Structure 1
């Protein structure tokens, strides 16, 4: 049992109402799927708005969104299933049951980046410019999507009696904590952290529109890598259900790598004063796709 407790009057608890949003006849709508769909819709709208402010053709971002969904969602699921293969090998019918939860944001990001590279290459545009316009929507979508973990009673942290403790039903608890009811709401920590990163990216974006000395292409994408990953490293350390690679937490390994790459990229841009490598050289980019 936990060695301390807080009087109820000092705090409150989170408790999921369950994973089902509503029933429409034979159709069952889950919170997880609804939140993912909402995040995609909001993200596309925001990216197109930012594109207009940067005098970029918003239709290009609408087309890219289709590629991102095709690349990100299957890769997010595949990434998760691979690291949880022991359980899915026993229930192969659940491999495609993404509506029940079980996707990994790092898998989604990898799939989305690959889709963006192919899209940029085909359309002869800068992949870094596209990523700069996408990452604010991405981090906002991550903030929204984390609440799917809340409704599924998953992705929670270690036991706690802090005032903002999260109640987890007994059937969802790890065996060694079967008699402990309250855990860190790591979904909430990450959602709030993501909102802070979103705010930072939006401030940088709109300040850039007003400044004569503009941010270099790729800056927002690199800031996203560093800031999101910094929060993920410490939040992941609290979680009870991390995807593991031997004794190592995969999310922490990937996040630390992303921080290192992001800092290297920012140094490349601002200390060395060089442009980031792109899939299409600047002289070959079809800037008529980005009307002034």
Structure 2
């Protein structure tokens, strides 16, 4: 795979950035369409998208630096060197949710309705984002002898000329399937908050399993678990708790 898709003069279009942009646009369109159907405010959707994006980027970067604390201790300049790359998805998810909660609290709008509205679109955006990972060669899998492998030749991240488990492809497929499943659940939910809870549960399970096949484990670990697996235990538990509690509450 090649991350540099197109070069026009001094401008270079990178696959990772292009897929992130495409994912954000797709998520925006889907969220707007569903908001109209559910008669939710388009103004709040725009504001939540902006708050979520900013909060997500900030926390994704902060969590990356936390996992790379040894590199920062050895060379504080590592922070400036990684301003434009190096993000942790879980940080983006949690940061986006926190920013959305703060916005809804400040504007006195129903957080759970908009939480349910947004999360299927988050899964959709993640599906495109993982295609970007494939183009860049990041988030790569372990070496494998299986016929289901991918070999990079020009990646700045993954080992080149080595057959690897295509974890980026598996992640993307799971994210798109997750999106479809959440839309199905949303069409049949009984209480606000159930869709968002299911997102946390399903994503945590999928991420926990996929981590066993990832080869880029320099991202840190907690005991025998990777950092993302450790976080998955908590986000999955939170999802279960939300599902139980919200199922008992009235829509208010």
The verdict on a shared fold, with TM-score over 0.5 as the criterion, is yes
Aligned position for 2:208:
233
Aligned position for 1:107:
91
Aligned-residue offset at 1:168: 2.9
Q: Once superposed, what is the RMSD of the aligned Cα atoms? A: 2.1
Ranges in structure 1 where 5+ consecutive residues have no aligned partner:
1-15, 209-213, 277-281, 283-292
Aligned position for 2:82:
95
Moved more, 220-229 or 64-73: 64-73
Question: Judging changes above 3 Å, is the alpha-carbon distance between structure 1 residues 32 and 172 closer, same or farther for their aligned structure 2 residues?
Answer: closer
State which of 84, 88, 112 in structure 1 corresponds to 2:68: 84
Question: Judging changes above 3 Å, is the alpha-carbon distance between structure 1 residues 48 and 244 closer, same or farther for their aligned structure 2 residues?
Answer: same
Aligned-residue offset at 1:87: 4.2
- Using CA pairs below 8 Å that are at least 6 residues apart, which structure has the higher relative contact order? 1
Question: Judging changes above 3 Å, is the alpha-carbon distance between structure 1 residues 136 and 171 closer, same or farther for their aligned structure 2 residues?
Answer: closer
Preserved CA contact (<8 Å) 2:204 2:232: yes
What is the aligned length?
246
Aligned-residue offset at 1:75: 1.6
Question: Judging changes above 3 Å, is the alpha-carbon distance between structure 1 residues 86 and 22 closer, same or farther for their aligned structure 2 residues?
Answer: farther
State which of 131, 138, 145 in structure 1 corresponds to 2:122: 138
Preserved CA contact (<8 Å) 1:48 1:59: no
**2 CA distance for matches of 1:82 and 1:154?**
19
Q: How does 1:192-271 map to 2 (within 5 A)?
A: 192-206=173-187, 208=188, 215-242=190-217, 243-247=219-223, 248-270=225-247
Which of structures 1 and 2 has the bigger CA Rg? 1
Q: How does 1:180-195 map to 2 (within 5 A)?
A: 181-195=162-176
Aligned-residue offset at 1:172: 4.3
When normalised by structure 1's length, the TM-score is: 0.78
Preserved CA contact (<8 Å) 1:156 1:185: yes
**1 CA distance for matches of 2:157 and 2:215?**
11
When normalised by structure 2's length, the TM-score is: 0.89
Ranges in structure 2 where 5+ consecutive residues have no aligned partner:
none
